[in-house]
A and B are shown apart, each in its own frame.
Chain A
Amino acid sequence: MNIIITISITAFIVLYAGLFKANKALLPLTVVGLLTALGFTFASWNGNAVHFGMMQTDNFALAFSGVCIIGTLLIFLLTQNYFHAKSDNIAEYYTLILFALAGMIMMVSYKNMAMLFVGLEIMSVSLYILAGIRKKDFASNEASLKYFLMGAFSTGFLLFGITLIYGGTGSFDLDKIQAYLVDNSKAISPIFYPGVILMMIGLCFKVGAAPFHFWTPDVYEGSPTLITTFMSTVVKTAGFAAFLRLFAGAFAPLHDFYVIPLMVIVCLTLFIGNVTALFQKNFKRMLAYSSISHAGYLLFSLIVLTKNSESNVLVYAAAYTFASIIAFAVLILVKQKTGSDSFESFNGLGKKNPLVALSLTVAMLSLAGIPLTAGFIGKYLMFLNVMGEYHTILVGFAILNALVGFYYYFKVIVAVWFKDGADTELSTPSQYKVVLLVSVAITLILGIYPAIILNLI
């Protein structure tokens, strides 16, 4: 609870600081606020407190809150020289991102479906504005409009699902819903099933799983890159946590029912995400499609529910988040220099910018899932999870998709190291260096010794 309060208060303070044109103070204020929130996260560890029957800060919630806060913190560090060049009203960016974060904390710790909806909307509304924050830019407007329409649409699905489930069980509370499913396992209300499917569709929209992914590439491409970073990493992580809380928690007794549509979604997501990413000429679009494919791997955790499903998602989401932050950070740097985000603009990056190029290489290796990086452990855990019930064909299919993934991630490595380019030296601000080094360190540490977060939940 105090995490949400801290973040919200920080957001207001930052907004007022912006009002008084204290632009220099924005970042320090935000960082202090987020660090305090992170401190509360650690302090509440093992507390398992229930707040007003609406939210439960169990270790699952806290671990995902931690990942979201750290991810947001790193993204804030990337704002150096980013917003200033684009707009005068930079306090709005800070505030909206913080509000979105507050929404996400609700999404990862809800105990009542009403909170899920409230959290999701707080996050989404902030993101609609952020996507369109470049008022004069056509693509940004398009992104915002698309995101808003699709988002509103999917929220409709979600709400309808919640309603049906309420109709079936008479409660919004996750524990009560689960108890209802266990007690009436033979006579579950028929309106409950469409409720589950509708909620699944609504959440799949939010996390960008196929066939509900059509908004992602355009929105990711049109939004300012920093906002794209935020959307494709932290937001996605929160979305999966929400997904998991519902489907691995309350709906777990109905696993046999929802697993079949879920498998179809997983296969489609993997296939569409990977194959489309293969043909992209634009780095940012490639990352957008690759994020779709990662959603597919993350959904693996719901196909077989074990006691490890949650920590598997945590590892995968952390691995994916930090690797993507590196990739987007480098993209921002390259785009600032060359004005383009095509693959060609990465050519020959390694010659003059060893730090940036090495970080990007580690990120790509991690996204591809090469051993000794966090991405491998994540993929390994997902495969292990699904192999637990011997879905061998599914794993085989995922492996073929992973191979496609190798190909397009290595395209980046090839461009960076093996192609001749303009030999431009990027101007890398100090905060970017910090972000790159921290993310690389996390990626490698999780890859070599994942035990540190395996036991968290």
Chain B
Amino acid sequence: MEQLLLLIFLPLVGALITAFSGKSAKIVSTVISVASLGLAVFIACNFIPNASTQFEANLPWIADLGIRFHAGIDGISMLVVLLTNLLVPIIILSSYKHDYKNPSAFYALILFMQAGLLLVFTAMDAFLFYIGWEAALIPIYFICAFWGGKDRVRINMKFFVYTIAGSLFMLMGIIYLYLQNPAHNFDIQAFYALNLDGAQQGWIFWAFFIAFAIKMPIFPFHTWQPDTYTVAPTQGTMLLSGIMLKMGIYGVIRWLLPIVPTGVQDWSCLAMVLSIIGIVYASVIAFTQKDAKRLVAYSSIAHVGLIAAGIFASFNLGNLGVQGMQGAMVQMLSHGINVVGLFFVLDIIFSRLKTNKIEELGGIAKVAPQLAIAFLIIVLGTVALPGTNGFIGEFLLLMGVYNYSIWAAAIAGLTIIFGAVYMLRMYQNVMLGKTNELTLTFTDIQGTEKLVLYIICALIVILGVYPKPLLHLTEASVQHLLEQVNQKLTSVK
């Protein structure tokens, strides 16, 4: 319990310290984020990989309203907690070459967001979950709107209103569940035990699904995403794409599936269709992008679409669904690592050449071989080459989709090939070919850039070759979840 409280409150206290640390904010925030990574690793080492909820903290908070500070970690939470605490130090390190104005505020907001994210990923109380959900949104809004690029105010307002719209309807759903719960509290186990009829489940499904779909984003709720990713400062983009979108996926797994399985089942066909449309649509648009950052943004929609499709395809298949779900787990982690890597490479290029336009670049590999190798590994991880981390997840996910429908799997699989084409073409046009006047001046990576890229590349390869510990971590919890869903589905029938 103490470990978990420390895990959540360390970044929060760290944010306060960083806010008053003036010029040394970079160092202070790095130390704090590395410490919280250490703590997360420590917790992971003491974590027993079974289906139980561990390190549980259950304290009274607002007793009159049935709200408790109830948090805990099971396999699924453990994975995303590790992802969060791994990526935050990487993201902070990746900012070392930047001189943001008001650094103390910048780094404090990152740490504050981390606390919100950890709250989301460990909350066992719906109200606490909602608080974390919003607490993660406010800092990222400020990060993107204050340090972002051109037209940041308008674009971030759109992003903000979109996400908050989703979350308000989710709040309505949470209140509804609370009122249905005879014990009048927000406890997740009590929500799981609720016996709602089909119509109620359908409404709750939509109340939650829209919030999660906007966050991920699933087509057609994605329109905020490319603009926001493009204008945000690189660290903001990394936080959004690396960690924040996992909030949506995690929400689906933790709250949507077990609470309203019948509602999900009734609408899963539509959710599948939307996810797959998203994959195709985003891939097609990614093809035509001239800006590398936008291309990666669209590719991210496609990848998330596959994760969502995998989840909606496998949630009611019982043991058969374990593969698809496990794929979603691994892919959450892999996508986080890969997309952060991609955005970092593009940031390195942008900080030197002040452009991310694909046609203006070329031949960087000649002048910067180390960057070229790292970039290649990340791109290969993204296109799911066997032996990289992307492969395991996408393979399992496709298997899950295949179990649902061979056609869906065919379409999704085809777009993965598309993905390989546009990613590799982007790599080719940016790194290979003739060096032009602009790219001639390019200097290879150094210092923290090297460190960050090496870490990312190492993770891509290690997780690709030996994903077993990861799969082992989540397996029991995933199995338990699917059993729970199945039980509830059959009891309703």
Contacts and interface: CB of A to CB of B under 8 A. Distances in A.
A406 interface: yes
A383 B175 contact: yes
A451 B62 contact: yes
Contacts of B153: 414, 418-419
B171 A365 contact: no
Contacts of A383: 171-172, 175
Contacts of A410: 157, 160
Interface string B246-286: 00000000000000000000000000000000000000000
B432 interface: no
B179 A387 contact: yes
Contact of A451 (B64, B131, B138): B64
B146 A418 contact: yes
Interface string A396-428: 100100110011001000100111000000000
B172 A370 contact: no
A455 interface: yes
Contacts of A455: 64
B62 A454 contact: yes
Contacts of B193: none
A407 B138 contact: no
Contact of B64 (A380, A387, A395, A454): A454
Contacts of B142: 417
B172 A399 contact: yes
B23 to A, nearest CB: 16
Contacts of A454: 62, 64-65
Contacts of A214: none
A402 B161 CA distance: 10
A390 B176 CA distance: 8
B161 to A, nearest CB: 6
A418 B102 CA distance: 13
Interface string A417-457: 11100000000000000000000000000000111001100
B168 A399 contact: yes
A450 B67 CA distance: 11
A371 interface: yes
A150 interface: no
B160 A396 contact: no
Contacts of B172: 383, 387, 392, 395-396, 399
Contact of B135 (A372, A390, A403, A406): A372
Given A380-B171, A387-B175, A454-B62, A414 B138 contact: no
B191 interface: no
B161 A418 contact: no
Contact of B134 (A370, A407, A417, A418): A370
B236 to A, nearest CB: 14
A170 interface: no
B160 A406 contact: yes
A384 interface: yes
Interface residues on B, range: 20 to 34
B320 interface: no
Nearest to B60: A451
Contacts of B169: 396, 399
A383 B176 CA distance: 10
A156 interface: no
A388 interface: yes
Interface in B22-48: none
A399 B135 CA distance: 19
Residue in A371, A372, A381, A406 whose Cβ sees the most chain B Cβ within 10 Å: A371
Contacts of B176: 387, 390, 392
Contacts of B168: 399, 402-403
B145 A414 contact: yes
Interface string A140-156: 00000000000000000
B130 interface: yes
Contacts of B178: 384
A95 B169 CA distance: 47
A277 to B, nearest CB: 15
B131 A372 contact: yes
B152 interface: yes
Interface in A351-398: 365, 370-372, 376, 380-381, 383-384, 387-388, 390, 392, 395-396
B152 A418 contact: yes
Interface in B58-76: 61-65
Nearest to B131: A371
A387 B165 CA distance: 18
A417 B143 CA distance: 11
B62 A403 contact: no
A419 to B, nearest CB: 8
B138 A388 contact: no
A384 B161 CA distance: 22
Contacts of A370: 134, 138
Interface of A: 365, 370-372, 376, 380-381, 383-384, 387-388, 390, 392, 395-396, 399, 402-403, 406-407, 410, 414, 417-419, 449-451, 454-455
Nearest 4 Cβ contacts at the A-B interface: A371-B134, A399-B168, A454-B64, A371-B131
18 contacts: A371-B130, A371-B131, A372-B131, A376-B134, A380-B171, A384-B175, A390-B179, A392-B172, A399-B172, A403-B161, A406-B160, A407-B157, A414-B153, A417-B145, A449-B61, A451-B62, A454-B62, A454-B65
Given A381-B65, A384-B179, A414-B153, 9 more contacts: A383-B175, A384-B65, A387-B176, A390-B179, A396-B172, A410-B157, A418-B145, A449-B61, A454-B65
